[in-house]
Amino acid sequence: MKLIFEKSVSGRMGVTLPKPGVPKSDLNIPEEYLREDLNLPELSEIDVVRHYTSLSLKNFGVDSGFYPLGSCTMKYNPKINESIASFPGFRNSHPYQPEGGSQGALQLMYKLSNYLCEITGMDAFTLQPAAGAHGELTGLMMAKAYLKKKGEERKNILIPDSAHGTNPASSVGCGFDTIKIETNRKGTVDLEALAAAADENTAVLMITNPNTLGIFEKDIVNISKIVHSHGGLVYLDGANMNAMLGIVKPRDMGVDMMHLNLHKTFSTPHGGGGPGGGPVGVREFLKDFLPAPIIEKKKDKYILNYDVTNSIGRVKPFYGNFGVMVKAFTYIRMLGSQGLKDVAENAVLNANYLMRKLKEDYLLPYDVVCKHEFVISGENQKKDGVSTMDIAKRLLDYGFHPPTIYFPLIVKEAMMIEPTETESKQTLDEFADAMHKIAEEAKTNPDIVKSAPHITPTRRLDGVLAARKPIVKYKPSDSDV
């Protein structure tokens, strides 16, 4: 399909704007600061509508079908969320408008923080972080500030080897060193390895629970104790909270700080890669370190308090991805306590059901009860020359979005599958069917799998070429590569 630039026709117009309508001033900007050309495309409104309508048809979302991308909680995004986020008082409010005219927004943020506290058991939340990884960074900055305040120079962050890539990346970003903790044969943190690694140099354990294998760290209380016993902090990567809503509070696992992914657990749409929300919750003793401003209630007024004693400072201008918060708030208020628990229970039921079904054809490296997701391996199929990549691509032909693949790294030929609670049994059965057919094809007709996809808008794309000879912006001459 042509690029929008390639559809441009010199002189074409897509909008009309009002006349300036004021006496014209001479430009007092020095000549050499004035733009000469601006090669944006020139199109009419109909061109733009058709172009992006066509592009949308080459994209697949939860609204298109099953999207079991593990670790990403691709659940259904209720349409009401979108409608409410576009209410004019939310959508068109300026972050610097007076507090008196922002009571709705502040109240919403204040209450949302409280709900998140109740759900997680934490004592306070900041809503500033824009995504999970941003939350991790924020949390670790607070840990660093806290330790520094205590006069401790702890350098190490312990991270299970199954952790998401953002965990180590955030750690080094914060100037920490990372120490990898091995996963045992049951798919959980190896207690001995942890005990061996934890010491007075341990700043933080970053743990994901349920972990990225979809398995609940049943020793979590002990794990926390070990870390605490060495004076370290326990940070929970709460991206997988969908499985735990109303079941267990991270606080009760011994967690000191954590982030949540609003765009996963609380059903705000993923937007093709964002925006998200990564609020960070902490226990009382870390509250003073939260980024300023924090929202407080004084009598009947909600206010922004910029005066936070040991605050690490801002991590975001203004107050965070407010529009995303509106959606999460809507979701929580529509579900309530029972609704949230239903979410966790059904997410876990769906995952276990699908896991058991797929186990008939695929290797299940950790064959235990899972939570919101599970990881199977394409190793059996690999013997027939069919890789997990091939299986994923073949799934496209069956009209499904593939699982997360080759992650977590500790499972060879990994396929990480998270069905979420918003999928029905029929859909799971249909997906299992497709996976079964592919397993059969891998035996009887491996070429059809290896050359997949066949019916997508493009055939398999060459990632190596893209990286070897990177073309990352339009140049007229590249248009006919």
Ligand X SMILES: Cc1ncc(COP(=O)(O)O)c(C=O)c1O
Q: Which of residues 118-177 bind ligand X (CB under 6 A)?
A: 131-133, 164, 166
Residues from 411 through 450 that contact ligand X (CB under 6 A): none
Whole-number Å distance between alpha carbons of 62 and 75:
7
Whole-number Å distance between alpha carbons of 308 and 339:
35
**Residue 278 binding ligand X, by CB under 6 A:** yes
* x/- track of binding to other proteins for residues 367-406 (CB under 8 A): -xx-x--------------------xx--x----xx-x--
Summarize as ranges the residues that interact with a second copy (CB under 8 A). Answer: 9, 12, 16, 44-47, 49-50, 53-54, 57, 62-65, 76, 78-79, 334, 422-424, 426
From ligand X, other proteins, a second copy, none, interface partner of 212 (C-beta below 5 to 8 A by class): ligand X
Whole-number Å distance between alpha carbons of 104 and 449:
54
Name the strand (E) or helix (H) holding 156: strand 156-160
Residue 299 beta carbon to other proteins: minimum distance, rounded to whole angstroms: 16
Among residues 66, 68, 70, 102, which is the contact residue for other proteins, using CB under 8 A?
Answer: 102
Would you call 111 helix, strand, or coil by DSSP?
helix
Residue 26 beta carbon to a second copy: minimum distance, rounded to whole angstroms: 30
User: First and final CA of the chain: distance in angstroms?
Assistant: 13
Residue 38 or 46: the one with the smaller Cβ distance to a second copy is: 46
Residue 388 beta carbon to other proteins: minimum distance, rounded to whole angstroms: 12
Residue 133 or 245: the one with the smaller Cβ distance to ligand X is: 133
Q: Which residues contact 187 (CB under 8 A, 6 or more apart)?
A: 162, 211, 213, 215, 365, 366, 368
Q: What are phi and psi of 140, to 5 degrees?
A: -70, -35
Instruction: Identify the CA nearest to 234 among candidates 202, 210, 200.
Output: 202
- The answer to whether 286 touches 257, Cβ cutoff 8 Å, is yes
**Residue 189 binding ligand X, by CB under 6 A:** no
**Residue 477 binding other proteins, by CB under 8 A:** no
Residues from 37 through 76 that contact ligand X (CB under 6 A): 71
From ligand X, a second copy, other proteins, none, interface partner of 237 (C-beta below 5 to 8 A by class): ligand X
Whole-number Å distance between alpha carbons of 345 and 339:
10
**Residue 247 binding other proteins, by CB under 8 A:** yes
- The answer to whether 196 touches 182, Cβ cutoff 8 Å, is no
Would you call 295 helix, strand, or coil by DSSP?
strand
Among residues 122, 343, 358, 363, which is the contact residue for other proteins, using CB under 8 A?
Answer: 343
Strand pairing class (156-160; 294-298): unpaired
Structure-block tokens of residue 234: 């326990």
Among residues 242, 261, 265, 422, which is the contact residue for ligand X, using CB under 6 A?
Answer: 261
Residue 212 or 381: the one with the smaller Cβ distance to ligand X is: 212
Structure-block tokens of residue 388: 């997990």
Q: What is the dihedral of CA 25, 31, 32, 37, to 10 degrees?
A: 80
Residues from 221 through 260 that contact ligand X (CB under 6 A): 237, 239-240
Residue 425 beta carbon to a second copy: minimum distance, rounded to whole angstroms: 9
Q: Which residues contact 476 (CB under 8 A, 6 or more apart)?
A: 5
Residue 239 or 383: the one with the smaller Cβ distance to other proteins is: 239
Q: How far is CA 351 from the centre of its chain?
A: 19
Whole-number Å distance between alpha carbons of 129 and 43:
37
Strand pairing class (202-208; 233-238): parallel
Whole-number Å distance between alpha carbons of 392 and 357:
17
Among residues 184, 201, 380, 456, which is the contact residue for other proteins, using CB under 8 A?
Answer: 456
Position 214: which residue type?
Answer: G
From ligand X, other proteins, a second copy, none, interface partner of 229 (C-beta below 5 to 8 A by class): none
Residue 46 beta carbon to a second copy: minimum distance, rounded to whole angstroms: 4
- The answer to whether 135 touches 280, Cβ cutoff 8 Å, is yes
Residue 106 or 280: the one with the smaller Cβ distance to ligand X is: 280
From other proteins, ligand X, a second copy, none, interface partner of 65 (C-beta below 5 to 8 A by class): a second copy
Residue 380 beta carbon to other proteins: minimum distance, rounded to whole angstroms: 22
From other proteins, a second copy, ligand X, none, interface partner of 208 (C-beta below 5 to 8 A by class): ligand X
Residue 196 or 221: the one with the smaller Cβ distance to other proteins is: 221
Positions touching ligand X (CB under 6 A) are: 71, 131-133, 164, 166, 208, 212, 237, 239-240, 261, 276, 278
